[in-house]
Structure 1
Amino acid sequence: MSAIAHHQAERSSAVTEMPDELRADVRLLGELLGQVIAEYGGDDLLADVERLRKAVIAARRGKVSVDEITAMVAEWPVERAVQIARAFTCYFHLANLAEEHFRIRTLRVRDTGEEPLPESLAQAVQELGGERVAELVEGLRLHPVLTAHPTEARRRAVVTAIQRISGQLAAYNSPERGAAERAETRRRLLEEIDLLWRTSQLRSTKIDPLDEVRTAMAAFDETLFRVVPLVYRSLDAALGAGTGTREPLARPFIRYGSWIGGDRDGNPNVTAKVTRDAVLIQAEHVLIALENATHRIARTLTLTAGYTPASPQLRAALAAAENDHPELVSEMATRSPQEPHRQWLLFVAARIVATRQRGLDLAYRSPEELLGDLRTAQESLVAAGAKRQAYGELQHLIWQVETFGFHLAELEVRQHSQVHAAALAELAAGRPSERTDEVLATIRTIGWIQERYGVTACSRYVVSFTRSADDIAAVYALAGHALGDKAPQLDVVPLFESGADLANAPGVLSGMLEIPGIQERLAANGRRLEVMLGYSDSAKELGPAAATLKLYEAQEALAAWAAEHDVRLTLFHGRGGALGRGGGPANRAVLAQAPGSVGGRFKVTEQGEVIFARYGHAAIARRHMEQVTSAVLLASTPSIEARTAEAAGRFRGMAEQVASASEKAYRSLTEAPGFPEWFSLVSPLEEIGSLRLGSRPARRGLGAPRSLDDLRAIPWVFAWAQTRVNLPGWYGLGSGLEAVISESGLDELRAAYREWPLFASLLDNVEMSLAKTDRDIAARYLALGGRDDFVEQVLRQYDLTRRLVLEITGHSRLLENRRVLSRAVQLRDPYVDALSHLQLRALSTLRADDGLSEEERERLSTLLLLSVNGVAAGLQNTG
């Protein structure tokens, strides 16, 4: 059987049965959307949508040809094609929502309490047994960093519309609802879906960095603030009986960071003023959240002094407060007589309000001062025997203050090393440019943030494309130029991205030890140092397989360097949401790290659609955080480190062979003459900038890309996902595997897949990327570039990679052993096909450009951008 025939047979036979509950939700939402479409555009519009839907499903079963679908799509006027594209895009939003609800229901059903959930904190502690649990928990740190990389194609208005539908769907499925209530909820569902349909899917204006800050705040407001203490509670319960009635055994181990409003590498829209305003926005949100939580707890503490007397310390604090603010405290005493704990918490809430409003005589000077007041209340409750009140909701509030402070997330600044070098040269010559003035203004802003919110609010300064220790020293020198002896406290973080830079990283770190600024920081922080590894650019340069293996080698080398120099190293993983940028399940990625490179600490970027996929719903966010934290604990144990080290040593030669051959194959395509121009023709790369996804430019420089260096990694991956090729997620691996097989057969590769977590993670991620690739549709896109040699090269590598991955994993079809993921892909694939056909129509006509009028070009561009938006919603991890 040919590769093409085998692929078609697999597509038609690989069907995972959809659970009844999920099927019912998909059918309900689909029926309501169909009703909305018919009401808006008539039965004929709905009929056209149904024709295309049935045709793409039939095509997957081999009953309709791709040529027939192409002809059908070509018949419609562009305006009709636009409406059909909107219909399928709305469907994806609803299908994603139905699947999210099913995941939540499944989690609740599985969580019986009889046995710990797999990959939960309870299971991790149980599995660890006596293996350094206390030590690991003491040093545990999970540090997600939110970034504004533009892979979230949905408008904020669309996201909020989906959230409203989500609330109605949950209410509709509630078993407590009677028939009348259910009917009303169905009506509300229909109303909200109608609103979604009538909401533009495309942004009409370009968003700025502060828009991105406000968008990220939604995840904090709606999920993170509430979920973080629940994760701590899970760990505390796992560590010992009696949680909520004793002093916690779990420390607050999560800290959030953000690049949104701080990352200026390649983004001229991020200025010193933007960075300052970003912190102000963050502070506003966290102080409102703390104020609301404190008020809520205060209202519940109706404990009378007769049954729960205040401690001497609390009575003295209330007396001092009354002396300083007699009217305020007197009013609280009048409202809550003989309820000292309630009075005190109401006073604390008033101080938080003053902190937000900058009321200097009442405001807190620091989060530590607030924590002192909360602990005064907690200790008083304990002394009075009210331990449940002391270690219940009040403990959650204490954890929230310890986690978020008054700044919510540490804002990190990032800038390119060349900008710093140019700034120093200009300052030495006495001719600073506007860009250099901006660099100095940024450092002064960091100083202002530290004065107002503390050092933890903004101290990390990431230097992208770090090539030598001089690139790190430059930041300290610029800080001296900006503020002299009053320079802010800086933790300068090198970012290693290219293959050569990853290999040179240990040498750069050795040079950093000679920098006075680094020496001072190491002396002050217990010899802690942070290093960032860039997954995006390394994968774009080397290909997915070689980049994965070289990043692992870099981790090994850095862990050894840290041990040799007595440095407590934290590796900061610049992972993307897409597989071509280091994406994939985060907990499995942690377990695949090099031995000694985790050490109870894991820092990683979270971006684009990944932020809302992981943090859009409380139950899913809590599950994700527990999975990653449990993986961090397990990956840090001597037994797992030893097992991973043994496997890595055993398969090192094989890995080097795979890396070498895969990189050679990848470069033979991407560095071939004419490849960048061809890529621009076969993908909607040129048009993606019109989607106004983010404030950062999509490419370096102007005009069509002349080399891969001109392209940023995110649009590179995003554009390939649109073509259904997903090339950055798998290209080259087939050649790497073939090189090993030709020399030593399949057995060693199969053993590596079974025994080495890194290799298993690599193949599983490639398998998922291949599953989201559609060979037939991909061939249509690739043909648009007029280079049959490139088309043949790409499809040959796809067939080879797919065949060998299946042979090594032992699967008869892609994702055979990952039922949930397989079902998710199958649920969406036919509808992604529909949008791809619509996009192909627009793209091929625009590329042909046979005398198109400006009006025709505008209409086709709208169709193209709508289809891009819809495919992104369907594939989910697109960038």
Structure 2
Amino acid sequence: MKLSQKEAVFASEVVTRFELYNSLFLTLPFYRVKHTGTLLPFFTSHCEESVRQNIAPADIIESFFAQYEQYVQASDRFDLLFRFIQYIERQVVLFDAIEDAAFSKTHTQEETGSIVSLLQQAAFKPALKAKLRQKLQEFSLRLVLTAHPTQFYPGRVLAIITDLTQAIKANNINDIHLLLQQLGKTPFFNKQKPTPVNEAASLAWFLENVFYYVVSDLQQQVEGEFESPIFNAHQLIELGFWPGGDRDGNPNVNSQTTKEVSDLLREILFRCYYRDFRLLKRRITFRGVEENMNRLQDLFYQNSFVKAEEPRDQQTEIIDNLEAVKDVLLRVHDGLFVDKIDDLIRKVRLFGCYFASLDIRQDSRVLRTAHQQGRAYANADLPDNYDTLSEEEKLKLIKFDEADIPSEGYDDLTTDTYTTIRLMKRMQTAGGENASHRFIISNCQQASDILQLITLFLWSGWKKDALTIDFVPLFETVQDLKAAGTVMERLYSHPFYKEHLKSRGNKQVIMLGFSDSTKDGGYLMANWSIYQAKVELTSLARRYGIELAFFDGRGGPPARGGGKTHRFYATMGREIANDHIQLTIQGQTISSQYGSFDSAHFNISQLVNAGVLSSFDDNNDKNTLTDQQKGLLASMASTSHKAFVSLREDPLFLKYLEQHSPLKLLSQINISSRPVKRNSGGELKLEDLRAISFVTAWTQLKQNIPGFYGVGSALKKAKEDGVWSEVKSLYEISGQFRTMMDNCIMSMSKADFRITAYLESDAVFGSFWRRLKDEFDLTRQLMLELTGTTVLLEQYPIERKSIGLRERIILPLVIIQHFALQQLESNKNDEETVRVLNKLIIRTVYGIVNAGRNVA
């Protein structure tokens, strides 16, 4: 079959290069095992052939070692398996670097739509250009980096990937060889869990090395297409940051952590400025600018290398000095190097003295306790039974009196809450309002959750007329999403909150989480619940004259809201507010979509383009669902929800995950400061299990249940009800529904039930495994019929090939992991063997997770 042009490029730039450099890589001597690189291809082939025959992982490992007399001792076998893991981890890195190097050739802006290509079209169409200008003046994109552990590379490995990518681009074999040797000797994991500050430093690598350049470049490209400024009141792309500020369920985050991360972001930013300024100083060597240049030198150096006790916002002073230098260059020196001054001015306008806004997040239950404990000091004049009153009674009684109560003397979480609220004021003084201006309330169930939090600020020295904070409710479970409209209407109609919103420009941000709603209700119901909530909340906001921005907790694999994110935003329809796109990016989403200048530029440009295009009349009409289409989706979501809940309530559900996935061992993986579950000291309960751990466990099983289960049942019922043609029509017409289905297909393409096929005859879990497999087969069959294809992801051949290659690379890791899980039961009384098996399982998780970057 003849390859398309894109497939041919992928084959030559990625597949062939990987085969070439991998052969080079496999010849490198690796620690104590001389023949590891020689044996690994044979082991991979053995795994592939055995999986095709549905042989159990333990038997696959045993039959492999039976071929080699030197591997009789268990210690020698374990040693070789660990060496295989080391090689495969690094093969994944090599593949990442090769794909990154080929990115500009395998992705073209014109083909998928970008703001850059749209601007180029508008240059010759005055009407389109005017329309585009108006939209850009209203639109903003906010990307919020989070430390959720869905991918792991330490900073030292990220740096190697960057250098390796450049060497591959230049086809520099000598550098590639040296970097592969460096990669072989560089550890991939931490011996201890990272602290939240460690996580912040790791993510800040992307701020410093990617976003600092890309955000500025895109802003300049857009500005350059218009004759006069279009971003006077706002900036096109904003950056947010969660490590150090997100304390929801993470006991390792406290006010000291938040302060350290805030200071770290400032320090890293000023080092970026100082680096640029040193280059600038080498060019601007003229008379008339000495005083301003000396002041800038001092400002950048002091903030980069001297830690101030009480830092202050110096953005205006920096810009004033740069503008003064620019003025001299224009008047006296023929405008030489003015473009370099403009570049630095633009960056200082974009990043200020803070780099990325540090969001604060805490659970509503913690905040209710803080309100309860602070009332006695604040003379709140509330009845003793206040906490048991109805919501209506609470709303009547809440007062907004200013006070200055102690920040200490409570339980640890309450003390942290009051200390952090005061710290937010310090951060605004140090970096400007945008340094930290959002408090996100997780598990927000009532309007009083927001209003009580406001009183905590007023009891902590903040003033009503200077409350420069946006209060952001987070609705995540299916039930909370249904109640969101009631909560927000109570807020919009509350006198004090109305005044507060007015002081904030009548702008409200609402966060909608995807992960927990998937765990709660399954893939289709999660998507539908969020869509419904957005329609209702948009209608409500428009009725009250509120400018609404949805902040989407999406990221990682499709089961956690990832996938083709830009297509969601491009197909919202007129019923959903889309003037501002805000979303979390995390784990492999960061490394795969924003890990290099090329990929970040491309993906940010796509998101901006999606937001702009979605507002155009023809797109709005096409993507707005009719009542009949909504009814069809609601019916399918309900069927899917019932199927998923039925599975989740099966008594074997959690036992299956605990016994056949690495779930219980995820807490030992040193990639996150956050516990695997919220109730870290108690027994494992599904409601306490974090969505990331939940999805990761199914990913390791190669079953990806949260990404598809129930969808097949929904499609089958639609057929039985005689509405299959309507479903097919919906897939062809609705961009939202098509994206939901395509992301589901992407999730399924990563599943491989052959690896666990041995469980079909298991006395305990046999029927449960067959239940999972039957739903997968049903969903796969109906998805192929729905999309008119013969294989999953047929419409996206590059992604299909990329996933296929990645899955082949890590297949031995999956087999080793499941072999070790099988061996645990029979060796449970051998403490040393259990220790080694657990270590094998933990080590395989890294490579399997890292290889999944293309599902982001």
Give TM-score, length-normalised by structure 2: 0.88
Q: What amino acid maps onto 2:565 in structure 1?
A: A
Q: How does 1:485-564 map to 2 (within 5 A)?
A: 485=463, 489-515=468-494, 518-564=497-543
Q: Does 1:642 align with 2:583?
A: no
Identity %: 25
Q: Once structures 1 and 2 are overlaid, which stretch shifts more, 153-162 or 586-595?
A: 153-162
Task: Indicate conservation of the 8 Å contact 2:562/2:855, yes or no.
Answer: no
Which residue of structure 2 lines up, in the alignment, with residue 228 of structure 1?
215
CA distance in 1, matches of 2:328, 2:486: 54
Q: Does 1:807 align with 2:785?
A: yes
Report the alpha carbon displacement of residue 816 of structure 1 after superposing the two structures with TM: 0.7
Q: Deviations over 1:751-796 (max 9, x none)?
A: 1111101110011001111111112114347877932221121111
Task: Indicate conservation of the 8 Å contact 1:542/1:667, yes or no.
Answer: yes
Which residue of structure 2 lines up, in the alignment, with residue 178 of structure 1?
none
CA distance in 1, matches of 2:96, 2:480: 39
Task: Indicate conservation of the 8 Å contact 1:151/1:878, yes or no.
Answer: no
Q: What amino acid maps onto 1:95 in structure 2?
A: F
Q: Once structures 1 and 2 are overlaid, which stretch shifts more, 850-859 or 604-613?
A: 850-859
CA distance in 2, matches of 1:694, 1:363: 30
Q: What amino acid maps onto 1:795 in structure 2?
A: K
Q: Deviations over 1:313-342 (max 9, x none)?
A: xxxxxxxxxxxxxxxxxxxxxxx4x53357
Q: What amino acid maps onto 1:681 in structure 2?
A: Q
Q: What amino acid maps onto 2:837 in structure 1?
A: L
Task: Indicate conservation of the 8 Å contact 2:508/2:548, yes or no.
Answer: yes
Q: What amino acid maps onto 1:860 in structure 2?
A: L
Counterpart of 1:651 in 2: which secondary structure?
helix
Which residue of structure 1 lines up, in the alignment, with residue 267 of structure 2?
284
Q: Could you say if the C-alpha distance between residues 744 and 576 of structure 1 is closer, same or farther in structure 2, counting changes exceeding 3 Å?
A: same
Report the alpha carbon displacement of residue 346 of structure 1 after superposing the two structures with TM: 4.8
Counterpart of 1:282 in 2: which secondary structure?
helix
Q: Deviations over 1:182-240 (max 9, x none)?
A: 5xx42x43332223223333321111000011001110111111111211233234x34
Report the alpha carbon displacement of residue 626 of structure 1 after superposing the two structures with TM: 0.6
Q: Could you say if the C-alpha distance between residues 409 and 63 of structure 1 is closer, same or farther in structure 2, counting changes exceeding 3 Å?
A: closer
Which residue of structure 1 lines up, in the alignment, with residue 183 of structure 2?
196
Q: Once structures 1 and 2 are overlaid, which stretch shifts more, 136-145 or 505-514?
A: 505-514
Which residue of structure 1 lines up, in the alignment, with residue 241 of structure 2?
258
Q: Could you say if the C-alpha distance between residues 878 and 760 of structure 1 is closer, same or farther in structure 2, counting changes exceeding 3 Å?
A: closer
Name which of 274, 283, 286 aligns with 1:300: 283
Q: Could you say if the C-alpha distance between residues 654 and 733 of structure 1 is closer, same or farther in structure 2, counting changes exceeding 3 Å?
A: same
CA distance in 1, matches of 2:670, 2:92: 20
Task: Indicate conservation of the 8 Å contact 1:725/1:775, yes or no.
Answer: yes
Which residue of structure 2 lines up, in the alignment, with residue 153 of structure 1?
152
Q: Could you say if the C-alpha distance between residues 40 and 434 of structure 1 is closer, same or farther in structure 2, counting changes exceeding 3 Å?
A: closer
Give TM-score, length-normalised by structure 1: 0.86
Q: Does 1:856 align with 2:837?
A: no
Task: Indicate conservation of the 8 Å contact 1:37/1:87, yes or no.
Answer: no
CA distance in 2, matches of 1:640, 1:388: 45
Name which of 53, 60, 65 aligns with 1:69: 60
Task: Indicate conservation of the 8 Å contact 2:58/2:823, yes or no.
Answer: no
Counterpart of 1:587 in 2: which secondary structure?
helix
Q: Once structures 1 and 2 are overlaid, which stretch shifts more, 136-145 or 73-82?
A: 73-82
Task: Indicate conservation of the 8 Å contact 1:598/1:632, yes or no.
Answer: no
CA distance in 2, matches of 1:235, 1:475: 39
CA distance in 1, matches of 2:309, 2:287: 25
Task: Indicate conservation of the 8 Å contact 2:447/2:487, yes or no.
Answer: yes
Counterpart of 2:324 in 1: which secondary structure?
helix
Task: Indicate conservation of the 8 Å contact 1:79/1:859, yes or no.
Answer: no
Counterpart of 2:566 in 1: which secondary structure?
helix
Which residue of structure 2 lines up, in the alignment, with residue 121 of structure 1?
115
Q: Deviations over 1:708-761 (max 9, x none)?
A: 202100011111111100111111101111111111242111111111011100
Counterpart of 1:255 in 2: which secondary structure?
strand
CA distance in 1, matches of 2:56, 2:463: 73
Which residue of structure 1 lines up, in the alignment, with residue 92 of structure 2?
92
Q: Does 1:374 align with 2:322?
A: yes
Task: Indicate conservation of the 8 Å contact 1:467/1:508, yes or no.
Answer: yes
CA distance in 2, matches of 1:728, 1:785: 25
Q: Does 1:606 align with 2:605?
A: no
Which residue of structure 2 lines up, in the alignment, with residue 467 of structure 1?
445
Q: What amino acid maps onto 2:220 in structure 1?
A: R
Counterpart of 1:482 in 2: which secondary structure?
coil
Name which of 454, 460, 464 aligns with 1:482: 460
Counterpart of 2:535 in 1: which secondary structure?
helix
Which residue of structure 2 lines up, in the alignment, with residue 450 of structure 1?
428
Task: Indicate conservation of the 8 Å contact 2:58/2:819, yes or no.
Answer: no
Runs of 4+ in 1 over 6 A off after TM superposition: 60-68, 358-364, 781-785
CA distance in 2, matches of 1:214, 1:711: 27
CA distance in 1, matches of 2:309, 2:63: 72
Q: What amino acid maps onto 1:339 in structure 2?
A: R
Q: What amino acid maps onto 1:376 in structure 2?
A: A
Counterpart of 1:643 in 2: which secondary structure?
helix
Which residue of structure 1 lines up, in the alignment, with residue 392 of structure 2?
none
Report the alpha carbon displacement of residue 351 of structure 1 after superposing the two structures with TM: 2.8
Counterpart of 1:414 in 2: which secondary structure?
strand
Q: How many residues align?
A: 802
Q: Deviations over 1:543-570 (max 9, x none)?
A: 0111101111111111111110000001
Counterpart of 1:673 in 2: which secondary structure?
coil
CA distance in 1, matches of 2:315, 2:432: 9
Name which of 744, 757, 772 aligns with 2:750: 772
Q: What amino acid maps onto 2:839 in structure 1?
A: T
Q: What amino acid maps onto 1:352 in structure 2?
A: F
CA distance in 1, matches of 2:447, 2:358: 23
Name which of 409, 418, 421 aligns with 2:368: 421
Name which of 31, 55, 68 aligns with 2:23: 31
Task: Indicate conservation of the 8 Å contact 2:513/2:553, yes or no.
Answer: yes
CA distance in 2, matches of 1:256, 1:716: 28
Report the alpha carbon displacement of residue 670 of structure 1 after superposing the two structures with TM: 0.6
CA distance in 2, matches of 1:750, 1:190: 51
Q: Once structures 1 and 2 are overlaid, which stretch shifts more, 804-813 or 223-232?
A: 223-232
Report the alpha carbon displacement of residue 136 of structure 1 after superposing the two structures with TM: 0.6
Report the alpha carbon displacement of residue 366 of structure 1 after superposing the two structures with TM: 2.8
Counterpart of 2:361 in 1: which secondary structure?
strand
CA distance in 2, matches of 1:684, 1:400: 44
Q: Deviations over 1:263-318 (max 9, x none)?
A: 000001110011011100000011111122233223223xxxxxxxxxxxxxxxxx
Report the alpha carbon displacement of residue 82 of structure 1 after superposing the two structures with TM: 1.4
Q: What amino acid maps onto 2:589 in structure 1?
A: V
Uncovered stretches (5+) of structure 1, i.e. residues with no partner: 1-14, 174-181, 241-245, 302-335
Q: What amino acid maps onto 1:270 in structure 2?
A: V
CA distance in 1, matches of 2:360, 2:97: 35
CA distance in 2, matches of 1:211, 1:264: 15
Task: Indicate conservation of the 8 Å contact 2:216/2:347, yes or no.
Answer: yes
Report the alpha carbon displacement of residue 74 of structure 1 after superposing the two structures with TM: 6.4
Task: Indicate conservation of the 8 Å contact 1:124/1:634, yes or no.
Answer: no
Which residue of structure 2 lines up, in the alignment, with residue 305 of structure 1?
none
CA distance in 2, matches of 1:850, 1:389: 70
Q: Deviations over 1:527-584 (max 9, x none)?
A: 1111000111111101011110111111111111111000000100011211111101
Task: Indicate conservation of the 8 Å contact 1:410/1:458, yes or no.
Answer: yes
Task: Indicate conservation of the 8 Å contact 2:283/2:337, yes or no.
Answer: no
Task: Indicate conservation of the 8 Å contact 1:505/1:554, yes or no.
Answer: yes
Counterpart of 2:184 in 1: which secondary structure?
helix
Q: What amino acid maps onto 2:608 in structure 1?
A: T
Q: Does 1:626 align with 2:601?
A: no
CA distance in 2, matches of 1:781, 1:150: 29
Which residue of structure 2 lines up, in the alignment, with residue 744 of structure 1?
722
Q: Could you say if the C-alpha distance between residues 359 and 807 of structure 1 is closer, same or farther in structure 2, counting changes exceeding 3 Å?
A: closer
Report the alpha carbon displacement of residue 80 of structure 1 after superposing the two structures with TM: 1.5
Q: What amino acid maps onto 1:853 in structure 2?
A: D
Q: Does 1:218 align with 2:197?
A: no
Q: Does 1:595 align with 2:589?
A: no
Which residue of structure 2 lines up, in the alignment, with residue 304 of structure 1?
none
Counterpart of 1:573 in 2: which secondary structure?
strand
Which residue of structure 1 lines up, in the alignment, with residue 389 of structure 2?
none
Task: Indicate conservation of the 8 Å contact 1:529/1:569, yes or no.
Answer: yes
Q: How does 1:784-803 map to 2 (within 5 A)?
A: 786-803=764-781
Which residue of structure 2 lines up, in the alignment, with residue 816 of structure 1?
794
Which residue of structure 2 lines up, in the alignment, with residue 825 of structure 1?
803
Counterpart of 1:36 in 2: which secondary structure?
coil
